[in-house]
Amino acid sequence: MVNRRSFVSILAAAATLPRAASAELPRQIMWDDLIPPGVPYSEIVGEGEMDIANDTWVPIYDANGTKLNEALDGAYIKMPGYVLPFDISADGVTDFMLVPYVGACVHTPPPPANQLVVVTTKKPWPMEQLWEPVWVTGTMRTQLSSTNLGQTGYALSADVMEVYVW
C-alpha cells in the first residue's frame, strides 16, 4: 500500500520526467513550404535589371516575394539550409541568416524575403562547420524584417542544429 507521502513523491517525480518522451516532433519543411499555398515561385521573381557598375543582375521581386506562409507562425519545424553569419565569435555563430543555397546574399543578389530566415540559437554553431549544410530545428515566426544582407520573412529560434546528411 502506498502512503500519502509516497504518492505525492511519485506524482512530483512524474511531473519532472524529461519532456522528450512527450515532446512535440518537429514538422519537417523545405524551402518551398515558406511560400504561401497557391503562390507559385515563378510569380515571386520579377524581371530584374542589370547593375552595370557592379556587373550583377538585381532581381525585382513582386508583391509575392514578401507574402509569408502564416501557417508556419508558431510552428515547431525542422528545415535544411546554409549558415550566413551576422557575426562570429571564438565559440562560433549564434545569430545568422539561414539561406537556401551556398552564396545566397553574398555572391548573388539575395533571394526574396519569403526565402530567408533569421536564426538565433543559444548554443553556438562551430566555425569549422560554417560551410556545411545544416538542419535547424526550432520555433518559427512569420516576421518581415530588414538586415544588411537583405529583407527576411521568417525568424527561427533554434533548439537543435546538426549537419545535414544527404
Domain boundaries defined on the chain = 25-39+68-163
Instruction: Give burial (CB, 10 Å; 0-12/13-18/19+) of 117.
Output: buried
| 164 — pLDDT class (breaks 50, 70, 90) | very high
pTM score above 0.85:
no
Q: Give the SS3 label for residue 13.
A: helix
Average pLDDT, the chain: 82
pLDDT at 97 over 80: yes
Residue 12 predicted with pLDDT over 70: no
Predicted confidence (pLDDT) at residue 15 exceeds the cutoff of 60: no
Region 50-59 average pLDDT: 75
Domain at 25-39+68-163, CATH homologous superfamily: Protein of unknown function (DUF3299) (2.40.50.870)
User: What average pLDDT does this structure show over 45-57?
Assistant: 73
Q: Which residue has the higher pLDDT, 123 or 1?
A: 123
- Is residue 160's pLDDT more than 90? yes
* Contact between 31 and 77 (Cβ < 8 Å): no
